[in-house]
Structure 1
Amino acid sequence: MIGFLLWVIVFLLCWPLALLALLLYPIVWILLLPFRILGIALDGVFELLRAIVFLPARILGGKPR
């Protein structure tokens, strides 16, 4: 009996949270999209800098990892 009452309480409390998460997920995803694009751009910049720094070693015969 107590288990059933706990199940009913959890059901009544959790379905609004699940609906709220379903509604807020696309909004949060759109809000975070510029940060993902910025991260991709910064990754490209750091890879370019790494290639420029290691270029002399590669020209002199260093083996890439």
Structure 2
Amino acid sequence: MLTFVLWLLLLVFCWPVALLALVLYPLVWLLLLPFRLVGLAVEGVFELLRGIILLPARVLRGRPVA
């Protein structure tokens, strides 16, 4: 909601910049989407490695694996 109010203020005070931001926002989002997907994949790999490395310690302590 705050973002929308700020955009409306920008529209009132400097409408060309507000319209440019309105047009460029989806393009920037599309450009950044592959980086988000790579970040999710890397995070998944790190969690998998963490689970593999910490599994013996969990089994030795008697904690449930799940």
Greater relative CO (CA pairs within 8 A, separation 6+): 2
Same fold per TM (> 0.5)? yes
- Measured against aligned partners, the alpha-carbon deviations of 1:4-53 in whole angstroms (never above 9, x if no partner) come to xxxxxx83xx1100000000000000000000000000000000000011
CA distance 1:62–1:20, shift in 2 (3 Å): farther
CA RMSD of aligned residues (A): 1.7
**Largest Rg, 1 or 2:** 1
Give the equivalent residue in structure 2 for 1:29.
29
TM-score (ref. length: structure 1): 0.74
Give the % identical residues: 72
**Aligned residue pairs: how many?**
53
List runs of 5+ in structure 2 lacking aligned partners: 1-11
**After the TM superposition, which segments of 4 or more aligned residues of structure 1 sit over 4 Å from their partners?**
none
